Amino acid sequence: MPTHNPDIAQALDDVADLLELQNANPFRVRAYRNASRVIRGLGTEVSVMLQRGDDLAELPGIGDDLAEKIATLAKSGHLPLLDRLRKDIPAVATELLKLPGLGPKRVRVLCEELDLHNVEQLHRALLDGRVRALPSFGAASETKLLHAVEARSKAPARLKLALAEGYVEPLLDWLRGAAGIDQLIVAGSYRRCRETVGDIDILATAPKGEPVVARFTAYEEVGRVMAAGSTRATVALKSGLQVDLRVVLPESYGAALHYFTGSKAHNIAIRRIGQKRGLKINEYGVFRGQKRIAGRTEKEVYGAVDLPYIEPELRENRGEIEAAAAGTLPHLIELADLRGDLHAHTNATDGHETLAEMAEAARALGLEYLAITDHSRHLAMTHGLDPRRLMRQGEAIDRINAEKSGITLLKGIEVDILEDGALDLPDEVLGHLDFVTGAVHSQFGLSRAKQTERILRALEHPHFTVLAHPTGRLIEEREPYDVDMPRIIRAAKERGCFLELNAHPDRLDLTDIHCRLAKEEGVLLSIGTDSHRAQDLANLRFGVAQARRGWLEKNDVLNTRSLKALRPLLARTMR
């Protein structure tokens, strides 16, 4: 059975960890990490690429050796090198590597000197004072490690972007009170709008760093100061969220923002380009010898290596640098491009507001249209609609539309895709709607083959328009169900259907990678909020952020169309 890309990427990462513990050449370690990132970012399964005869060694950073290892992994799920490393290196070493403050060198010292087999044994050794006696360890290391070991089980997972906002805004307000502070911005994965963030990176400009660092560490939500120097500091908030602060002079703002926004892989690639041109790029600027030639803005930094500005959401070293050099960067979609929302619920099922209230909220946001897509009867726990209630809802929509209040409601349904791929309402009922979005809400555990067939059959239905939350995942809570997404994307293209990019911050389903694949295949995406309350309509911005990470432009998104242009697109499948 072929192995899927995330598993291949994980195996490569495991090799990198273990090689690191063996004190291998750091550049060899990097090659494995880089390969892992590249495989994770592929839209196509490696097994499919192999079947059609693609040469993996043409992928960036992957040479003949890694190509062969990746092919072995794809075909067999195993890698002899990995098996060998696992035999030679105790499993506890990999676990210790994850503790903050421990790198490969000190993990080796611990394992060899203390004969550790699990983290509990380290805990006891710390309490007995045996660790502080080891070379390269001392009293301070003991304290930090004790904290790390005891906190490891309750360490917060990565935080969803929307939740991170709640911590960031008050902290920024507090920092604005620091003496001499000028610019203040959040960089890192937060600025790149990744769906989750591991920590928060804040950049400030000021003539002197010390007062800003002092203000930062004095914030009332700070639980622990992990490091504090004259220009940077790291704290853990009481919630466990880690926050890094960096302070630079105003003339370095652009260089520092670029450096601090990442991703690391993007930065390394940019610096290498600079290096080839005899430039040194660091967080203070772009330098030729001692002379600073750029750095006040990010645009200057890119300009120094003859590239146009690259939007933060693209900075993952997944081809954006090559596209920038070739002048083919996408013109990314913006929130203002959206004209409507094609996924919303009302209190007829599990929403909280009436039709009229949802219509008014959408109008207030400046939307031209809103599709009402309540659940169908199979989803009994939501009081899903049967044909009679759906028809009554349609009449109510007609009455609201007749008022011509500036918003048009579309008659839709989020119809359940049943286990065999049939839809939960009769054809003649679906045929009376403006729009049918279908979704899987049950039997998440079907095999990949069955789940894929189920959805493909639903797409074949003559009234099917949009596949809602295509993988069913809940970020950090529920894995996506196992489906062959490239196949579904191709089927949507053949059938004239659309896929949803569900904008709910718990879902963001599709992923950036699948968005990009859909774009390449020519399938339009519908950014839908799946609103269950009026306030959820504002989640459109999270969908747009994800769309931008997926390289989507205005024309790649269905609901950037005016109502007039939208209707024929929806009608195309309503035959």
Partner DNA sequence: GCCGTTTTCGGCCCGACTGTTTTCAGTCG
The residues binding DNA (CB under 7 A) are 25, 27-28, 30-32, 57, 60-67, 81, 99-107, 132, 135-142, 144, 188, 199, 201, 209, 227-234, 242, 244, 260, 264, 267-268, 271-272, 274-276, 280-284
What whole-number distance in Å separates Cα of residue 104 and Cα of residue 102?
A: 7
In the numeric block, which tokens belong to residue 450? 């069955």
Nearer to DNA, 84 or 392 (CB): 84
What type of residue sits at position 412? G
* Least distance between DNA and beta carbon 562 (Å): 43
Sign, CA dihedral 64-14-242-162, equals positive
Nearer to DNA, 172 or 563 (CB): 172
Task: Give the residue from 417, 500, 426, 412 showing the smallest Cα distance to 457.
Answer: 417
Strand positions, DSSP E, 395-454: 408-416, 435-439
Strands 525-528 and 498-502: parallel
Nearer to DNA, 209 or 412 (CB): 209
Nearer to DNA, 71 or 356 (CB): 71
* Least distance between DNA and beta carbon 76 (Å): 17
* Least distance between DNA and beta carbon 192 (Å): 12
Q: In the sheet that 280-282 helps form, which strands lie side by side, from edge to edge?
A: 280-282, 285-288, 291-294
Nearer to DNA, 188 or 438 (CB): 188
Nearer to DNA, 57 or 163 (CB): 57
Distances (CA, A) of 271 to 249, 264, 437: 21, 10, 46
Strand positions, DSSP E, 12-141: none
Task: Give the residue from 368, 341, 344, 364 showing the smallest Cα distance to 354.
Answer: 344
Question: What are residue 573's phi and psi, to 5 degrees?
Answer: -95, -5
Nearer to DNA, 122 or 439 (CB): 122
Question: What are residue 41's phi and psi, to 5 degrees?
Answer: -90, 0
What whole-number distance in Å separates Cα of residue 331 and Cα of residue 322?
A: 15
* Least distance between DNA and beta carbon 178 (Å): 15
Nearer to DNA, 233 or 439 (CB): 233
* Least distance between DNA and beta carbon 110 (Å): 9
What whole-number distance in Å separates Cα of residue 55 and Cα of residue 298?
A: 36
What whole-number distance in Å separates Cα of residue 321 and Cα of residue 373?
A: 40
* Least distance between DNA and beta carbon 222 (Å): 14
What whole-number distance in Å separates Cα of residue 316 and Cα of residue 303?
A: 19
Helix (H, G, I), strand (E, B) or coil at 441: coil
What whole-number distance in Å separates Cα of residue 315 and Cα of residue 119?
A: 36
Nearer to DNA, 140 or 214 (CB): 140
